[in-house]
Amino acid sequence: MRHIGPTDSWQRFLWSLREGCMATVETKGADSLRKALNLLDIVKDRPGGAEMRDLVAASGLSRPTAYRMVAALTEEGFLKLDDSTRRITFGPKLLALAQGIWSDTDLRGGSRNELTRLAQETGATALLMVRSGGWASCIDLVEGQRGGHGWQVGMVRSVTQCAGGLAILAYGDWSDLDRRQKDLDVDDPRQLKSTLGVVRSRFYAVDTLANESGNMGVAAPIFDISGRAVGAVCLYGDAQASLHALGSAVVQAARDISEARGGYPFDISLPTLAISNDLDGVDLIADSQCLIGDNPCFDDERLFWIDILGPSLYRLDRAGEEPVCLNQTEVAGALLRLGPGRMLLAQQTRLALLDGSGNETWQRRVSGLPPGFRYNDGALDPVGRIWLGAMDMAVSRSTGLLHRYDDLDASPISLPGFSLPNGISFSPDYERMFVVDSMEKLLCVFDYDADIGAATLRERITLLEDCDGRPSGLAPGPDGTFFTCHWDGGAVLQIDSIGRTISSYSVPVPRPSGLVYDGENDRLIVTSARVRLSETDTARFPKAGGTFAVPLSK
């Protein structure tokens, strides 16, 4: 239960009601209205709510009259009774009225300073957008030095065709997307839900197409006190510029505006762990600035990895060279080496086979994934079966599952029972299968029958107990051990088959995300993430999103 205290908006609301009453000829019921407003005023002045006897005493009403009025106000949602304290507090109807009072004008006033700061610091043009039905409109704009953005105050675009509209829509109710397909100018509701899932994962949206001026934008949602997305902060600049580089700036601005309006429903700050940004013997292989780097793997002398939300595939031909970035058209959820010169890239709606250069040689549509889900990590069993984790991009509990492909042309077999499966590996004898569930901080251990590909849950082991951060990824190491990343802990852990930590290796970024053991060189190749880091944290950890080589012996 949250008490809504007195605000200037509330005072203006009561004043306007009273002035309206006093400015008109006295009519039947006006006196009752004044008495009801007085009861609301008394509740306002009682932090934590008012007891019924307080209302009777302070209002001067008879007990029966006070009870009738409170009952009527409660029935209409203006008041409510807190069952635990037996106190009367403001009801949800007042919150709805307050949201009406917090008009676009108030939103503009509360956002202007942030828009000005963004335009000055980035050189891009900063916009404030709101949604009305199937349209997103620009209600304020601060020009950046670059200009040429193609927007002006009052301009509207389809809510599904601009970053601001997508940012607001992603945090709304998806249940009516199918029904409102025509209103929202949507050809494929399933694809829209997948796009909105990406927005939720990043905390920001990017334009899917350049606008009429050849410019593209990035936007983050603004929330009101109830956690409802009521607007979006947007930055528009050159389509050739890196929109993702502006992501943390718009997220931080949207967070600041939201908190000034009552709250922000997500925490983008790092845990209070001592994480060093000093390389200290760790080699930076590629400063790739990935949103979520993952699934590093070797093919011959080449190193590959993905940026899940980039989305992109990276190829490093030789140490010391710049990696080649192969942009992808949709989320890249998992990358697996199937054999020499043959890899599998599991995307949001497709499975694709790649050659030793990363070029696509075959593809098929994914089946069996609900809208808004994507693949996340995977592994091969000894006879070549493919296991892939699948997660809800809205990251909801107990919705995750594994898919087993006995053949890439066949439909997958599902294994439910996870929240966020994020790392699959096998024991050296393939009699055990291990799955990391990042959300639940678990190592799930299965008995595995390689003859038929059957996995039977044996036990769940807690990882990182009593510690901030989460496990991410799982890679086999020497002597039957495994490695997992400590997301938000700035480290890689070596664990045994029952989850006990054997060793810990520091990395100079807070969010190591994926890894592979390079036994020939006795080192780990570790990818990392910069998604949802604040401006302060990206400045503190400038190599976040890079790929590193971590020696296991010094």
Binding residues, as ranges, are: 374, 376, 422
Known binding residues for a divalent metal cation are 422
Which residues have C-beta within 8 Å of that of residue 3, sequence separation ≥ 6?
47, 48, 49, 89, 90
- 55 within 8 A of 66, measured Cβ to Cβ: yes
DSSP type of residue 365? E
The amino acid at 37:
L
Tokens of 501: 């930590």
3-class secondary structure, 81: strand
3-class secondary structure, 426: strand
- 301 within 8 A of 527, measured Cβ to Cβ: no
H/E run at residue 421: strand 421-426
Which residues have C-beta within 8 Å of that of residue 252, sequence separation ≥ 6?
268, 534, 535
How far is residue 30 from each of residues 14, 57, 463, measured CA to CA in Å? 14, 22, 64
Helix residue ranges per DSSP H, 82-240: 92-101, 104-122, 163-170, 189-202
Query: What is the rounded distance in angstroms from the CA atom of residue 116 to the CA atom of residue 125?
Result: 9
Query: What is the rounded distance in angstroms from the CA atom of residue 376 to the CA atom of residue 116?
Result: 39
Dihedral-angle region of residue 215 (phi above 0 means left; psi in -120 to 50 means alpha; beta otherwise) = beta
- 348 within 8 A of 367, measured Cβ to Cβ: no
CA 338, distance to chain mean position in Å, is: 31
Known binding residues for substrate are 374, 376
Closest CA to 330 of 305, 359, 310: 310
Query: What is the rounded distance in angstroms from the CA atom of residue 510 to the CA atom of residue 468?
Result: 12
Maximal CA-CA distance, the chain:
91
Closest CA to 110 of 128, 132, 135, 136: 128
H/E run at residue 254: helix 247-260
Query: What is the rounded distance in angstroms from the CA atom of residue 270 to the CA atom of residue 468?
Result: 9
How far is residue 284 from each of residues 200, 326, 483, 509, 544, measured CA to CA in Å? 29, 20, 19, 11, 11
